Amino acid sequence: MLTPFTLDGAFSPQDCDRIIDLARLRPLDEAGLVKNMADPAIRRAELAWLDERPGAEWVMDRIVETVARANREAFDFALTDFAESAQVARYGAEREGHFGWHSDIGAGAVAARRKLTMVVQLSEPSTYEGGILEVWPDGNVREAASARGAATIFPSFHLHRVTPVTAGERWSLTIWAHGPAFR
């Protein structure tokens, strides 16, 4: 299995614009870590949770289709649900937005069930510098696809990060697919 797995064009440029517009309907929240803790040395970004934005239902339909396809083609994990809302993140150069090395599986009841992480590139890569999504599935760090609308999918236990944005702003959509514990 090649990790990270990429589905180019999973979302059209118009879809990406619509998702960013949904996120901007209300002020964005400061991104945190687990249990509402914040540490700007680890993560500096703003977030919108799509389940709190009216008119975002179509995004979840596309997410389900995209994750199901990636799981069929690359992972074959036992997936049961999406127990968390999709999150739109904005990483801005004014604060050197970033997210240090981490995995998405946590100790909480829901985070412990995360099996696949999907990150969709919403910004045109020419509009920002830095902000590279890197995945470390083995002894080699790999850069995720940066094409607008590309979906990058990887096991939630893989280490990954977003390097500091040094110019412009990077927008992304993230969701986790959940299932029974790995065996």
Give pLDDT tens digits for 158-169. 999 999 999 999
Strand ranges inside the chain, DSSP E: 5-7, 29-30, 43-44, 46-49, 87-92, 98-102, 114-121, 128-130, 133-136, 142-143, 151-155, 159-162, 165-178
108 lies in some domain: yes
pLDDT band at 107 (very low <50, low <70, confident <90, very high): confident
164 lies in some domain: yes
pLDDT digits (tens, 9 = 90+) for 135-155: 999 989 999 999 999 999 999
167 lies in some domain: yes
171 lies in some domain: yes
Q: Which CATH number covers residue 38?
A: 2.60.120.620
Domain that holds residue 106: 5-178
Residue 35 buriedness (CB in 10 A; 0-12 / 13-18 / 19+) = exposed
C-alpha closest to that of 119 among 57, 182, 80, 170 = 170
**pLDDT score of 42 more than 90:** no
pLDDT for residue 108: 86
Number of domains in the chain: 1
C-alpha closest to that of 63 among 143, 7, 146 = 7
**Cα–Cα distance between 119 and 7 in angstroms, integer?**
11
183 lies in some domain: no
**pLDDT score of 33 more than 70:** no
pLDDT band at 183 (very low <50, low <70, confident <90, very high): confident
- Is 157 in contact with 124 (CB distance < 8 Å)? no
85 lies in some domain: yes
116 lies in some domain: yes
Continuous H helices in 38-159: 57-70
pLDDT for residue 136: 96
91 lies in some domain: yes
Owner of token pair 């179509």: 58
